[in-house]
Amino acid sequence: MNKITETSFHRTYFTFGGLFLLITLVVVAFILSTDNIEKEKLVLATSIYAFFTLILAVLFIFALKNKITTVIKSIDGIIDNAISGKNICTSYDETSISALENKMYRFVSISKSNTAAIDEERNKIKSLISDISHQTKTPIANILLYSELLLDRSTINDEEKQLAKGIKVQSEKFKWLIESLVKMSRLEVGIISANKALTSIFQTISSSIGAVFSDAEKKNIQIQVSCSEDIKAYYDSKWTSEAIINILENAIKYTTIGGRVAVTVKQYEIFTEIVISDTGIGIREDEITRIFKRFYRSKNVSQYEGVGIGLYLSREIISSQGGYIKVKSQINKGSVFSVFLPNTK
């Protein structure tokens, strides 16, 4: 590779500087050596001086441009070779380009080594998560099956029935917790990626409400929906539905009997907004920035069941698709969760 060194730049500076000085001295000597110089000759000498100075400046700029272009191409080649893993340092002189070449190769080598280590660690985590999911699935399913068999027995007394119901309820909670932890881990290590497509918002909201409708019915909570069937956005329907379900479950959980949950969809130029509002207990202002943290639960909701994973998963799911969530809330008046999904890829 043809390298440009600091010496070649210095040589250019000295060459053109010397020529400029020479031209200036010649013109000055001509003027000083001529007595009673005529005005026409003075104008001619000045014009010649200005002409050669201009030519010299143009040549200097052109030469400097060529050298800078060569340096840029040299750096570009160094980066390309470093990325491709080619160590093209054939000699280690004391120039800045050579030093940059060596540092760039070392930087890319270290980056590739770190990336390989991260990929290896990610594969280990992926394997561990799969093992956890697989190894716990069967025992939990068996516990649920055994509890149902106990409840179906005609000889079971009321006390035993209550114990069997307790086993079933706690097993279902444990199953949900394991599934949530596995999903959370997969999202964090990038094992799961959202498959975005142009999808109807109405269908996603309908399926989400269907998943929580029985819980709302038990508390006599009305769910109102305002969404045009024509509204579409780019998102993963399965994962986005899960994010919305988590928000709806919280809205129903923290809303008193006979309350109301409303889902409204508005489409803007860049984003589509899904507004989920409730008439629940509300969230303190100082806690709004913390409710999306893993395992965070307010002291005000200690009497409600939960582990603080749902909203964290919702935010991760929406963020992974290029969207975001905003929250507004007032104590004892309710909360408003706004989910923004992109309209384009």
pLDDT on residue 318: 93
Number of domain units in the chain: 3
Phi and psi dihedrals of 266, rounded to 5?
-125, 135
- Same domain, residue pair 226 and 296: yes
pLDDT on residue 142: 86
pLDDT above 60 for 1: no
Q: Which of 69, 88, 107 is the last residue of a domain?
A: 88
| Tens digits of residue pLDDT in 155-214 | 778 888 888 888 888 888 788 778 777 777 777 666 566 788 999 999 999 999 999 999
User: Which strand (E) or helix (H) includes residue 118?
Assistant: helix 96-152
| Tens digits of residue pLDDT in 16-74 | 888 888 888 887 777 777 666 677 777 777 888 888 888 888 888 888 888 788 877 77
- Same domain, residue pair 169 and 266: no
- Same domain, residue pair 157 and 231: no
| Tens digits of residue pLDDT in 259-305 | 999 999 999 999 999 999 999 999 988 888 889 888 788 877 777 77
Whether residue 102 is contained in a domain is answered as no
- Same domain, residue pair 143 and 221: no
Mean pLDDT of 81-86: 67
pLDDT above 80 for 220: yes
- Same domain, residue pair 219 and 337: yes
pLDDT on residue 264: 96
What contacts 132, CB < 8 A, 6 or more positions away?
A: 178, 182
- Same domain, residue pair 148 and 244: no
* CATH code, domain carrying 258: 3.30.565.10
Whether residue 224 is contained in a domain is answered as yes
Cβ atoms 205, 263 nearer than 8 A: yes
118 pLDDT band, cuts 50/70/90, is: confident
91 pLDDT band, cuts 50/70/90, is: very low
- Same domain, residue pair 22 and 141: no
Could you give the CA distance from residue 304 to residue 11 in angstroms, rounded to a whole number? 79
Could you give the CA distance from residue 313 to residue 294 in angstroms, rounded to a whole number? 8
- Same domain, residue pair 328 and 205: yes
pLDDT above 60 for 4: no
- Same domain, residue pair 178 and 210: no
Task: Give the range of the structural domain holding residue 181, as residue numbers without chain letter.
Answer: 124-188
Mean pLDDT of 89-101: 56
- Same domain, residue pair 36 and 171: no
Q: Which of 169, 188, 207 is the last residue of a domain?
A: 188
Whether residue 74 is contained in a domain is answered as yes
- Same domain, residue pair 203 and 337: yes
90 pLDDT band, cuts 50/70/90, is: very low
- Same domain, residue pair 249 and 321: yes
Whether residue 247 is contained in a domain is answered as yes
